[in-house]
């Protein structure tokens, strides 16, 4: 019997090692497409219920999945692609007034060199900036190609997820080594967090982009609409957010000597754009998933380096699941003695109540009064 148990344990651990090893290899090979994979999972969570209802009505799961993917192409993929091309075209059409910028900039550079002894335009600094610009440009070009590849991966994977969604969910639930109540809590948390971020973050970007467009139009920012689009995109970046756009624009006005526009734009964006970020971001997160603001902030900070753009959604999800699993561990293994403690504390009270002599029954006087 001991030999059989040993062989069984060896085979079990060998299987676990093979599963982990092959899983790591597959994850490593699929990592370049992680944005598309996570995008497909996000769309699946958002679209699974409508697709399942459509499949029940038509009686054809493949047809319902195809219609959902086609709708996703027309209403998500095509608008995103057009938006990307629009931003690129607008950036190419930007006409910078270099002469108006260079003269005041040189004046400021001379002042800095005279007062602080720092030569901003030294050969070392120029070569450093040139190298950074070249690397950023290459990253942008590679990112554009990867963007369209990941869209294709997301749509392809979305079709198969929707087509076999219920079987997949049942299989995954059977494999997860948790109690049913913990499985349900984990799945509910994933659904809430993904829906909250997938809906709330684009909505917040639209709100902040619209408010910033009003300010840029009031203070005469060149290419105000393009600047507002970039501001909306930057609202997804934690901590600094939209400051990436409106602070340099204000400095641009300062360099040109337009101090009124510079301070006016700074005041408008600091009051309305930044405060709308603080207000609407936390309201939406609380409304949709009751998420603590720190989970969102630290999740995005951790998720962006890991998953790229999709880290905005799945970074907070990782932090939220981490906290959830800690809470599960506490309930299962650290709080096991609490019910006994409560019972022990409650026992003396019960005993004292039992030891208190019962009050004697009062004589019934209704009958005597009735007889009288």
Give the pLDDT confidence score for residue 25 in this predicted structure. Answer: 92
Task: Compare 92 and 27 and report the one with higher pLDDT.
Answer: 27
pLDDT at 336 over 80: no
This prediction has a pTM of: 0.67
pLDDT > 90: what percent of the chain? Answer: 6
Give the pLDDT confidence score for residue 328 in this predicted structure. Answer: 79
Task: Compare 231 and 100 and report the one with higher pLDDT.
Answer: 231
The chain-wide mean pLDDT, for the chain, equals: 75
Structure tokens, 111:
């002042």
Give the pLDDT confidence score for residue 344 in this predicted structure. Answer: 44
Task: Compare 101 and 295 and report the one with higher pLDDT.
Answer: 295
Confidence of residue 357 (pLDDT cuts 50, 70, 90): very low
Give the pLDDT confidence score for residue 323 in this predicted structure. Answer: 82
* Separation between Cα atoms, residue 262 and residue 247, nearest integer Å: 9
pLDDT tens digits, residue range 264-283?
A: 999 998 888 888 877 776 67
Give the pLDDT confidence score for residue 24 in this predicted structure. Answer: 92
Domains of the chain by residue range? 177-334
* Separation between Cα atoms, residue 137 and residue 131, nearest integer Å: 10
Give the pLDDT confidence score for residue 245 in this predicted structure. Answer: 87
Give the pLDDT confidence score for residue 21 in this predicted structure. Answer: 92
pLDDT tens digits, residue range 201-258?
A: 788 888 888 999 999 999 888 878 888 888 888 887 777 778 888 888 888 888 777 8
* Separation between Cα atoms, residue 213 and residue 321, nearest integer Å: 37
pLDDT > 70: what percent of the chain? Answer: 69
Q: Of 149, 129, 148, 127, nearest to 137 (Cα)?
A: 129
**Averaged pLDDT for residues 297-304:** 78
Q: Of 62, 31, 65, nearest to 48 (Cα)?
A: 65
The DSSP-derived string for 83-135 is HHHHHHHHHHH----HHHHHHHHHHHHHHHHHHH---TT-HHHHHHHHHHHHH
Confidence of residue 143 (pLDDT cuts 50, 70, 90): low
Give the pLDDT confidence score for residue 355 in this predicted structure. Answer: 45
pLDDT at 372 over 50: no
């Amino acid at each position: 019997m001991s030999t059989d148990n040993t062989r069984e344990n060896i085979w079990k651990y060998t299987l676990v090692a093979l599963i982990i090893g092959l899983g790591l290899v597959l994850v490593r090979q699929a990592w370049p497409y992680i944005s598309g994979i996570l995008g497909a999972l996000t769309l699946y969570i958002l679209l699974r219920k409508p697709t399942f209802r459509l499949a029940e009505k038509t009686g054809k799961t493949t047809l319902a999945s195809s219609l959902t993917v086609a709708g996703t192409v027309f209403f998500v993929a095509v608008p995103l692609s057009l938006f990307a091309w629009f931003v690129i075209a607008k950036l190419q059409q930007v006409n910078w007034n270099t002469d108006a910028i260079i003269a005041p900039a040189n004046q400021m550079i001379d002042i800095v060199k005279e007062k602080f002894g720092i030569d901003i335009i030294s050969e070392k600094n120029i070569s450093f900036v040139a190298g950074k610009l070249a690397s950023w440009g290459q990253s942008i070009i590679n990112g554009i190609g990867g963007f369209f590849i990941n869209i294709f991966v997301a749509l392809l994977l979305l079709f198969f997820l929707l087509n076999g969604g219920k079987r997949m969910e049942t299989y995954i639930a059977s494999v997860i080594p948790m109690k049913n109540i913990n499985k349900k809590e984990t799945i509910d948390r994933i659904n809430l967090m993904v829906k909250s971020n997938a809906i709330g973050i684009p909505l917040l970007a639209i709100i902040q982009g619209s408010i910033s467009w009003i300010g840029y139009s009031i203070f005469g920012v060149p290419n105000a609409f393009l600047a507002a689009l970039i501001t909306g995109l930057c609202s997804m970046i934690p901590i600094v957010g939209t400051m990436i756009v409106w602070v340099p624009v204000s400095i641009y006005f300062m360099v040109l000597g337009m101090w009124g526009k510079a301070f006016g734009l700074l005041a408008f964006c600091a009051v309305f754009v930044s405060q709308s970020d603080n207000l609407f971001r936390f309201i939406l997160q609380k409304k949709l998933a009751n998420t603590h603001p720190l989970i969102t902030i630290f999740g995005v900070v951790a998720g962006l380096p890991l998953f790229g753009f999709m880290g905005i959604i799945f970074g907070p999800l990782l932090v939220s699941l981490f906290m959830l699993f800690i809470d599960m561990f506490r309930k299962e293994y650290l709080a096991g003695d609490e019910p006994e403690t409560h019972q022990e504390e409650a026992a003396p009270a019960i005993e004292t109540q039992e030891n208190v002599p019962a009050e004697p029954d009062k004589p019934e006087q209704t009958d005597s009064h009735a007889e009288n």
